[in-house]
Amino acid sequence: MSEKSIGICLLGCGVVGSGVVKILTEQADMLRRRADLRFDVRHIVVRNIAKHAAGLPGLPFTTDAEVAIDDPRTQIVIELIGGNSAAATLTQRALRLGKPVVTANKSLLAACGNELFALARKHETCIAFEASCGGGIPIIDAICRGLVANRIDAIVGIVNGTCNTILTRMTRNGWSYAQALAEAQRLGFAEADPSLDVSGRDAAQKLAVLASLAFNVQLAEKDISVEGIEKLQPADIQFAKELGYVIKLLAIAERDEQDRLTLRVHPTLVHQDDVLAEVSGGFNAISIYGHALGHVLFYGRGAGQMPTASAVVADLVNVAIGTTPLAFRHLRIFPDTAALADVLPIEKSRSRYFLRVTAKDEPGVMAQVSHALGQQGISLSAILQRETGESQLVPVVITTHLAEDGAVRRALREIDSLPTIVPPTVCLRVVDQPKEFGGNGK
């Protein structure tokens, strides 16, 4: 069988783009051997040719995206520009020409994935987006095809490497958020403007993509309740540790028996025995619970040049051999073919909670706090109060049993209005994943 040549147009040549070029160049033999494919990079669209041409000499750089996309020798377009504006316009242009688009852009998919999927379908082509979530972990393909026999009940994941790196440093080194962020920025693990990551928005965009596929629904970033890591204090990480927990930024999507979804991203206390507690630094891990499969977890590098490029090139191969277009055509799991999600308001979501109350050292405080919780039907699981020495202010840590978010918020308003309490009371969620020991294994 003689190899097939596939003409590629690369939009953007930053960190990931140059990783893609590196794999296509250095592993050309391997790709030829494995897939009988030769990828020919026809155009690399950048803003400033001079900036790139020095580092990657001899490559077909251009500034004219439209000509590059329209070129009949361009058979697949790789969109690595990021953002929603030019990326959307150029993706649409390629799709209208019936050319498949490979993208790592979760922001684009979260913002207008449904429209783009529908456009691809109209023009009998496809969008491949394995690199949009979980970096090099083949999680999109697993949800779409590997787990297709499962009614999925929940997704629980660490999907933002920047936040995880910051939290890992705070936990291991006892650093403040500001210290850990500065270090992450110095080492290149956080952007100069880290807000998209640390606010939890990046994680929410990824959750939107994953949940829409897992539950076969249309949903938007705004359906997701989001809380970032910016306000986390070392004291809470320390208290969590004393209680046997590690704090992670989790993205969670759960389906209840009425097919209503709870969608949220927030710092979360994860038990130290939970496998997610072990996921450190830039790694991602995504747990999925399927009705037949039970718990399955995918772990790997969630970002970075080569891991992300690994997913982009996998998409290229799968588009080129035709499996991705076929799956896109035949599987009705993409949101453009699905109904709107029935999203439960966050107030109705249930979780365990970690509360850190700052109380004045006076008699009767605990009774008042317990009363406020009890009024809302919230029962306590553990209390941690240390001897205070000289201080007039006593931190009291409380964990609760399962409670409704709305009830907890009402209790907190009550607690924070008590004259014996210094507001604001810190409120974090505790998520216990199902126990796994005992083995179902043969």
User: What part of residues 416-435 is at the interface with its own copies (CB under 8 A)?
Assistant: none
Q: How far is the CB of 432 from its own copies (least distance, A)?
A: 16
346 token code pair: 């966050």
User: What part of residues 300-339 is at the interface with its own copies (CB under 8 A)?
Assistant: 300-304, 306-307, 309-311, 313-314, 316-318, 321-323, 326-327, 330-333
Q: Does 228 bind its own copies (CB under 8 A)?
A: no
Q: Does 176 bind its own copies (CB under 8 A)?
A: no
324 token code pair: 């991705």
Distance CA 23, CA 333 (A): 30
Q: Which one of the listed residues 4, 22, 122, 206 is annotated catalytic?
A: 206
202 token code pair: 């990046």
Q: Does 36 bind its own copies (CB under 8 A)?
A: yes
Q: How far is the CB of 343 from its own copies (least distance, A)?
A: 20
Best CA proximity match to 150, nearest among 105, 216, 240: 216
Residues that bind its own copies (rule: CB under 8 A) add up to a total of 85
Binding residue (CB under 8 A) for its own copies from 13, 31, 211, 319? 31
Q: Which segments within 180-291 are labelled E, that is strand?
A: 217-218, 225-226, 245-255, 261-271, 283-290
Binding segment for its own copies among 46-54, 132-140, 343-351, 387-395 (CB under 8 A)? 132-140
- How many CB atoms lie under 10 A from the CB of residue 1? 4
Q: How far is the CB of 99 from its own copies (least distance, A)?
A: 19
Distance CA 122, CA 101 (A): 14
Q: Does 129 bind its own copies (CB under 8 A)?
A: no
Q: Does 168 bind its own copies (CB under 8 A)?
A: yes
Q: Looking at beta carbons, which pairs linking 49-52 to residues 24 or more positions away fall under 8 Å? A: 52/13
Phi-psi domain of 225 (left: phi exceeds 0; alpha: psi -120 through 50; beta: other): beta
Binding segment for its own copies among 26-34, 62-70, 222-230, 365-373 (CB under 8 A)? 26-34
Q: How far is the CB of 333 from its own copies (least distance, A)?
A: 5
Distance CA 341, CA 333 (A): 13
Determine contact, residues 421/365, Cβ cutoff 8 Å.
yes
268 vs 284, beta carbon nearer its own copies: 284
Q: Does 393 bind its own copies (CB under 8 A)?
A: no
User: What part of residues 187-226 is at the interface with its own copies (CB under 8 A)?
Assistant: 187-191, 197, 216
- 283-290 vs 225-226, strand pairing mode: unpaired
Q: How far is the CB of 417 from its own copies (least distance, A)?
A: 41
Binding residue (CB under 8 A) for its own copies from 85, 258, 391, 440? 440
Q: Does 359 bind its own copies (CB under 8 A)?
A: no
348 vs 435, beta carbon nearer its own copies: 435
Residue 364: Cβ-neighbour burial (10 angstroms; 0-12, 13-18, 19+): exposed
H or E element at residue 305 = helix 305-321
Q: How far is the CB of 303 from its own copies (least distance, A)?
A: 3
Determine contact, residues 213/261, Cβ cutoff 8 Å.
no
Determine contact, residues 224/263, Cβ cutoff 8 Å.
yes
Residue 42: partners with Cβ closer than 8 Å, 6 or more residues away = 7, 8, 9, 60, 68, 71, 73, 74
Binding residue (CB under 8 A) for its own copies from 5, 33, 379, 386? 33
Binding residue (CB under 8 A) for its own copies from 82, 234, 281, 406? 281
Q: Does 17 bind its own copies (CB under 8 A)?
A: no
148 vs 340, beta carbon nearer its own copies: 148
Q: Does 273 bind its own copies (CB under 8 A)?
A: yes
Q: How far is the CB of 179 from its own copies (least distance, A)?
A: 15
375 token code pair: 């009024």
Termini Cα distance of the chain? 42
The reply to whether 4 belongs to the active site is no
Q: How far is the CB of 185 from its own copies (least distance, A)?
A: 11
Binding residue (CB under 8 A) for its own copies from 9, 44, 59, 137? 137
Binding residue (CB under 8 A) for its own copies from 5, 25, 30, 64? 30
Q: How far is the CB of 311 from its own copies (least distance, A)?
A: 8
53 vs 296, beta carbon nearer its own copies: 296
Distance CA 127, CA 95 (A): 8
Binding residue (CB under 8 A) for its own copies from 2, 54, 391, 442? 442
Cα→Cα distances 226→171, 265, 266, Å:
22, 5, 6
23 vs 427, beta carbon nearer its own copies: 23
Cα→Cα distances 207→77, 216, 250, Å:
25, 13, 10
162 vs 351, beta carbon nearer its own copies: 162
Annotated catalytic residues are: 206
